[in-house]
Structure 1
């Protein structure tokens, strides 16, 4: 009875969470420019989640309240200057290996460097043509000088995606059909079809900032040892309690400090490196040097959404690249706006899925690279403590990560934790972690003759 009453109280608190507006504000000298987020109406009074830019570059976020009758730009600009004015400077973070010129140097100095390499953007999708059109429109507006877009239609049941691509986009977007369900399989098919030196991946539920692709891929030209890059993910809208709750605990953001992870110089403050892959980025905003990703066998097709493993395909890719000796660079200048899931049921599915994906990808890594087992076992005691921290019930105020199943933001994240994280979701994350290895093994059995970690050739390419 006590558990039922507690669960009811959690649901009541959840339903009481109000909507939050989303906006951008650019601090450029004494001038400020306020505009609504990519899927939001003009800002009025009330609570506002703000991305703060400085001369166009993302530098932080804030959560502010605009009193009724006040000018939103004036109120929010004052808050932004207080929290993110020039005197504050960037957040503290790890310098990239090799110093300026290796990945992040151009970001900090603004110095001109080599142009970004030819890039293929892969978008896997399944029966969501409305969302896909919004994403493709933003991708076609990128300022990158040389890129292609490949849409992978994963296990379609209708011709909706093919019709959209052919009718609205024509030769500007390539269509590929992958009949086998699973996000990793779809990404591998996109990798096989890609013609670029770099392959970027994003989801069909994002809106990409116009400089996203340039910011994400330019570090590959500056650093020959770079195998992977990730970027910043912020909420496109915060209209439902589920969206607000997730973002208040960090969402998918990884902070605003450019960071390079080098396996030859492991971060001293991350004793579980490289197995805490959720700190590196997320699948909605990642890019790989094509030859490097192909060299490690692509993504494990027994991981990812659409398989019994539920997720972990992106984390698998990050760790495989790092364990092969390549660097990974996180750049907050590469921004996509993500449409978070909208309902309590969505959050339950997400909590369980991220827990499952976390341990599924770890299982996949050890299957692919048994030589990593001693290093992994040496980290198990701290890993168990880390897992307990990820799934702990988090109250409001402070903390050291987000709530998204091991994918929380790095220290310095923007999560304000204005709402407690429900115990129900923490329990589901723990259950997912226990299920993950089982789900992965089921997915391997279901894959049958397909080789773990192999990447397939594209099928049905137009």
Structure 2
């Protein structure tokens, strides 16, 4: 009787982490419990935390987990950690899960199935991201701003993305050949260390390069995860900060495009400020707490546009 052949490694899951040892075990456990047969997937944990000894102690708790490899990466930066994972992967596909997310049991099965269904031209697959609320959702937070919390729901069907649609890094997968051909993740983008910087857009920049080379992006709603929404993010201050950093990220990703819209951006800022009480028509107006979802959304747009306009260069003159 012929010996059974071990299944080929079909897909790699990667969790890049930084000092999140409280939530990380939940993410790891959700990947180890996937529906794919044992041996057909692997899990790479890339620990970017500064304390290598602590990392080794945390890794020891998972030493007996089949298919799990834990690497401590001293060079900081999420984009670098993702590149380390992609270069170490034993499979043609890699799916990234945030360290504060939990994957549904059929997550990897549906990501791999989505790549198979749409063929070699698809270089990127993303899935649904549900909020895992750490505190009640505030009344001032509109549905249209949940994307800032990495909430993604593009409907009930597996499909190709249309222009203007996006998937998020908390639940995104790539063909490793497409990653390689597009030049990997840009280490000048993405977050480094803790929460001092909210620089982002590294997944978008990479996806844009893959699309420019003829690749396509697909979405699978059943490749779903829950993503922790820290109570610290459920403040207007955090959202304003997030809007400012998004402007920086977008400017770094496409500076010429943002330069072209600087006058429109500045006009939008002035439009918001002129709608405020006279005493609030200064920077104060960009920092005041708002009471309604509509005003809060408008204020966040003004914060974003103010940063874009300042980065692109303003040239105001007094009326003569």
TM-score calculated relative to the size of structure 2 = 0.72
The change in CA–CA distance for 1:243 and 1:141 in structure 2 (over 3 A counts) is farther
Instruction: Indicate which of 296, 299, 305 corresponds to 2:185.
Output: 299
Work out the CA distance in 2 between the residues paired with 1:157 and 1:436. Answer: 37
Q: Aligned residue for 2:22?
A: 130
- CA shift for structure 1 position 359: 4.7
Work out the CA distance in 2 between the residues paired with 1:177 and 1:163. Answer: 11
- CA shift for structure 1 position 191: 1.4
Work out the CA distance in 2 between the residues paired with 1:422 and 1:177. Answer: 44
2:43 partner SS: strand
Assess if the C-alpha contact under 8 Å between 2:138 and 2:234 holds in 1.
no
Matched, 1:421 2:313: no
2:126 partner SS: strand
Matched, 1:332 2:221: yes
Map 1:117-156 to 2 at 5 A. Answer: 118-145=10-37, 146-156=40-50
Q: Aligned residue for 2:64?
A: 170
Q: Aligned residue for 1:321?
A: 210
1:339 partner SS: strand
1:315 partner SS: helix
Assess if the C-alpha contact under 8 Å between 2:185 and 2:206 holds in 1.
yes
- CA shift for structure 1 position 127: 1.0
TM-score calculated relative to the size of structure 1 = 0.51
Matched, 1:253 2:253: no
The change in CA–CA distance for 1:435 and 1:167 in structure 2 (over 3 A counts) is same
Work out the CA distance in 2 between the residues paired with 1:187 and 1:243. Answer: 36
The change in CA–CA distance for 1:423 and 1:306 in structure 2 (over 3 A counts) is farther
Give unmatched runs, 5+ long, in structure 2.
Answer: 1-6, 274-290, 312-320
1:228 partner SS: strand
- CA shift for structure 1 position 159: 3.4
Assess if the C-alpha contact under 8 Å between 1:229 and 1:286 holds in 2.
yes
Matched, 1:283 2:155: no
Q: Aligned residue for 1:341?
A: 230
The change in CA–CA distance for 1:244 and 1:142 in structure 2 (over 3 A counts) is farther
Work out the CA distance in 2 between the residues paired with 1:331 and 1:348. Answer: 33
Give unmatched runs, 5+ long, in structure 1.
Answer: 1-114, 262-266, 268-272, 367-372, 394-418, 440-462
Assess if the C-alpha contact under 8 Å between 1:302 and 1:309 holds in 2.
no
